[in-house]
Amino acid sequence: MPRPDRPAAAPPGRRIPWDRTVRSAVAITAALLGAHALAGAAGVPVAVAGAVCSVNGDHSGPVRERAVRFAAILVGGSAGLLLGRTAPTPGRGQALCMVLAALAAAVVGFARPADQLFGLKLMVLTAIGMGMGAGPTSVRTVALYGLGCVPMGLLLVLARLRGRPAAGTTDRPARAVRSGPARRDAVLRLPLCVGTAAVLAELLRPEHAFWLPLTAALAFRPADPSVLRRVGDRVAGTVLGVLGAALAARTLSGWTLVLLAVLVGAVLPGATDRSYALHTALASVVVLVLAVPGPPSDGRVIAARLVDTLLACGVAVAVGHPWRRRPAAH
């Protein structure tokens, strides 16, 4: 079963998904340049977050299904930013916001992949919105996120006007948690996981409290039976991505660093098809270089990101693995 943030694997013999690779490069570059032109450097981080989210939800299926996924990303991410901006300062309010976002994601996220994407972006952008502190207003933040999503939306419109839907991985139904007890169990575990991570962040690192619950939201899936493998991939990918971003920041500067992030973002679709660890590594480079405050070459930033990742993944395992229901013996 493909994950909502990972389209089905490419057919044998198709090594590079060129259609998605081109769209990714165009979308991220256009979002970056457009945000810089309209809002200056301060507007780039949120716009890039929107572009990366829209790229992560892209796939090679029919235009209509891609449009549904895009709408889920746009609406879910915007709602998450609005929720996150209601609690811009560390404290109980931020932990409560993350619990509410996770609860909403758990309630709606067991049907189509688009519903899961809505819930995932709701949680992720809630964390990012909180991490912006007393920065731009809620309306401006949502507008910048939408601006980052615009290039992918225009590409969808262009594909629709051309009238030639791409052949490939269709939007398969997600695994549903149908039984009452199993669904209630999943609805409880996701908010517990993300809420625990948010409380830990407030206690240990209130000045950068968003990364820990954000990582927990990405590492834990109520309907995914491979919690341990996903957590291992998340840890390995984040370590590689943080170290790669730090190395890039030490050797590159200015627009060359931005160019690197755009190029890395362009290969995200192919990486997503092959390995969650590789996808995490590349996405971490883009996020740390363009969308997260604080220089990634700072040793304290590197250490904080790695420690938070380990803590968040530990929470995901502690909450998700022991509670998993085992089939009854016959």
* Residue 1 within any structural domain of the chain: no
**Residue carrying the six token digits 């209630």:** 184
**Predicted pLDDT of residue 76:** 96
* Residue 174 within any structural domain of the chain: no
**Predicted pLDDT of residue 294:** 58
Q: What is the largest CA-CA distance in the chain?
A: 65
| Integer-rounded Cα radius of gyration of the chain | 19
Q: How far apart are the first and last CA of the chain?
A: 27
Query: Is the distance from CB of 201 to CB of 211 less than 8 angstroms?
Result: yes
**Predicted pLDDT of residue 172:** 44
**Predicted pLDDT of residue 167:** 43
* Residue 7 within any structural domain of the chain: no
- Contacts of residue 66, defined as CB under 8 A and 6 or more positions apart, other chains included, come to 58, 59, 156, 159
Mean pLDDT by 10 residues, the chain (330 residues): 47 68 90 89 86 87 89 96 87 88 84 83 91 80 95 92 58 48 74 90 81 85 69 87 83 77 82 86 79 64 82 85 49
* Residue 326 within any structural domain of the chain: no
Q: Which two tokens stand for residue 277?
A: 């660890």
* Residue 10 within any structural domain of the chain: no
Query: Is the distance from CB of 266 to CB of 25 less than 8 angstroms?
Result: yes
Amino acid at 298: D
The DSSP H or E segment spanning 1 is none
| C-alpha distance from residue 229 to each of 185, 209, 224, 226, 321 (Å) | 21, 25, 10, 5, 11
* Residue 38 within any structural domain of the chain: yes
Contacts for 91-97 with beta carbons within 8 Å, 24 or more apart? 91/202, 91/206, 92/202, 94/130, 94/198, 94/202, 94/209, 95/195, 95/198, 95/199, 95/202, 97/126, 97/130
**Number of separate domains in the chain:** 1
* Residue 155 within any structural domain of the chain: yes
The rounded distance, in Å, linking the Cα atoms of 323 and 258 is 43
**Predicted pLDDT of residue 182:** 62
The rounded distance, in Å, linking the Cα atoms of 50 and 59 is 16
**Residue carrying the six token digits 């420690």:** 307
Residue 324 φ then ψ, to 5°: -65, 130
The rounded distance, in Å, linking the Cα atoms of 302 and 296 is 6
Q: Which two tokens stand for residue 256?
A: 């060359």
* Residue 259 within any structural domain of the chain: yes
Neighbours of 222 (CB within 10 A): 25
Burial class of residue 37 in the structure, from the number of CB atoms within 10 Å of its CB (0-12 exposed, 13-18 middle, 19+ buried): exposed
- Residue 79 is part of which domain span? 18-167+180-320
**Predicted pLDDT of residue 19:** 86
Q: What is the DSSP letter of 48?
A: H
**Predicted pLDDT of residue 176:** 47
**Predicted pLDDT of residue 126:** 93
The rounded distance, in Å, linking the Cα atoms of 253 and 259 is 10
